[in-house]
Structure 1
Amino acid sequence: MIEASAPGKLYIAGEYAVVEPGHPAILVAVDQFITVSLEKSEHVGSITSFQYGNLPVLWKRENDRLVLDKRENPFHYILAAIRLTEEYAKEQGKELSFYHLTVNSELDSSQGKKYGLGSSAAVTVATVQALCRFYGITDNKNVVFKLAALAHLSVKSNGSCGDVAASVYGGWLAFTTFDRDWVSEQQEQKNVKELIEMEWPHLSFTPLTPPKDLRLVIGWTGSPASTSHLVDEVTTKRRQDAMAYETFLEESRRCVNTMIQAFQEGNVEEIQHQIRNNRQLLLKMSQDTSVTIETPALSRLCKMAEEFNGAAKSSGAGGGDCGIVIFNRKEGLLSLITDWEKEGITNLPLHVYKKTDA
């Protein structure tokens, strides 16, 4: 039995701008995980997910290609991860095999509601890691990220893959995405192994160390949102005012880079200042595009946090899901959480997950 786990994520700053190559965002990995288990089998394999009623999807092989027995299935990310990783394994002379793959997720509520913690990225990363170990090929972070990113792009091409990066690298992370057009062009000319060994333009990962007095608090509004749909909306609307979008990108870049410097200097007050700045940038972009990023519930979450001297904003695409608060000390948190509960906002007792492996 082979197991691999990948953590969920939350965006701290830089949302929407991060989908453009070279524009930074800050994310954290959180200590809730998706675990993928692989067990070798003969003649037939299966995929089982506890998120989908434990019903296995059976598959067979036709000319080394994985073929599902069911026409419709909810496992797009898993299947994309399998396809890319097995292609990579074959290029290294590995013989493809059968296995039972089981997925277990902590990233959703007990009622099956999504918290917005990046479950599709985490399941992709965990699947890639498990298969690399199963086939005895390297699963260093750079390889896992690029395989998971290629799998993600084949399913949903409008994201930055920042959630994939957080799941791979863990901890606090500054990230800039790659040039997707360049990767697509290279895919037509290179095999998977060659593409993974290349430098991808604009792609960067910078681990950050939070100041010792910094405290991250997470609130969930109970309204799951679709990241891909929201990004699609913004992409469509931004074409109507290209100048406003370019201004947003430049101001977001300046804001997040200043925040990264504040992390490096251990300056919590400056981090808080830039969190508030980033919130205003997102609100302005929301106004310009008529896309709701900060819902009324997220606005209440932020307003209440500010009353307790926390710097708050929506996390990720917005439209519901989570808000984050940065505090400079630990006082007042219980009062905030109590007030949140009265408003139907749930404090998620998550901690930043820092990977200890190389």
Structure 2
Amino acid sequence: MTNFPYMIPYANPIYFCYLIIALLPMIITLLVKGKRWSWYQALVTLFFLYMSFGGKDWKQGVALIVYVFWQTVLVWLYFHYRQKKNNSYIFYLSVFLAIAPLALVKIVPFVSGHASILGFLGISYLTFKSVQMIMEIRDGSIKEYSVFRYIQFLLFFPTISSGPIDRYRRFEKDVENPIELEKYVDLLQKGIHNFFLGFLYKFIIGYYFGQVMMPFVAKIAEKYGGFSWALVAYMYVYSLYLFFDFAGYSLFAVGTSYLMGYNTPINFNKPFLSWNIKEFWNRWHMTLSFWFRDYIYMRLMFTLIKKKVFKSRIVASNVGYFALFLIMGVWHGLTWYYLVYGLYHAGLICLTDAWLRFKKKHKEKIPSNKLTHALAIFLTFNAVCFSFLIFSGFLDTLFFK
């Protein structure tokens, strides 16, 4: 199998040839019989996992197998424990153990300078799914647990490498309930549309910004050094590249899910048309931001308010934002620009909250029309682009190396 085409999902047009061939039997079965062949989906999953984690990446494949075994046993043990008892310490220990592999993958390179042997493409998104399971089992939202269903959810190949991050209960409904022909035809149409739009985003627009314009403006910015118009140009080019490349990938992942009859949630909804930073996070990498909101921010706020750590809900909210985005920054990596990126967004959200409170209090004096709305979009877009400049690490290259 030396000539087998190992490749990253959705990164190569050839990948789509294999994908369409593999999905055709699924599509025909769903159109004719309105149901899925679980055994065939399992075979397709194994094939694409082998394509992504085999060959020269076999170590990632081994790490993936070990990781899935670890999480499956962990969630199984916690589920059966939770049926009898509800000890908070066991819950926190389970969450810690679920996060531990990802934490090691992030910390080891920072400490040793070498990649962790536990790392593989998509470990973050699988960890979010595992932690979500443990939290919802504790809440009582998940009342039944199937090992096979959990592994199927964890290894759902269209979204394994970079999301979107689905929810177990939503995924389970898709698996258990036969899809109506009319609904599947609608999903099929949307899936095909996503593929065409994804090709436009990732392989045309994203390629132009990432491979043509970005090296060009980066070279000019490095030539002039310091702050310059070339640096501003790099900021906009990188931001647009980041969006079109990632949004294109997400369109492929969601589109593939649709063709398989799964209504996987979308990840982007015109984020650059947001009129404030809170709205931006409701539109950008939505499944990730909603995951952080539901499983970190809301639970932290509940604890802070319940234990009356702060007298003011506003202070508690601001502390929650900084904790949330600091965690998000650490998740991206243990470098100064990821941490600053997180703290920057936390500061923007706190300022936005303050502005919204002020605006509500003085709504008679503050104009609200199409012009002010356009100005808000313009300011938000530039604030976000500056955050992406920080995130890119280019400032580190330009000023500190």
Quick check: TM above 0.5? no
Which of structures 1 and 2 has the bigger CA Rg? 2
By relative contact order (CA 8 Å, sep 6+), the higher-ranking structure is: 1
User: Whose helix proportion is higher, 1 or 2?
Assistant: 2
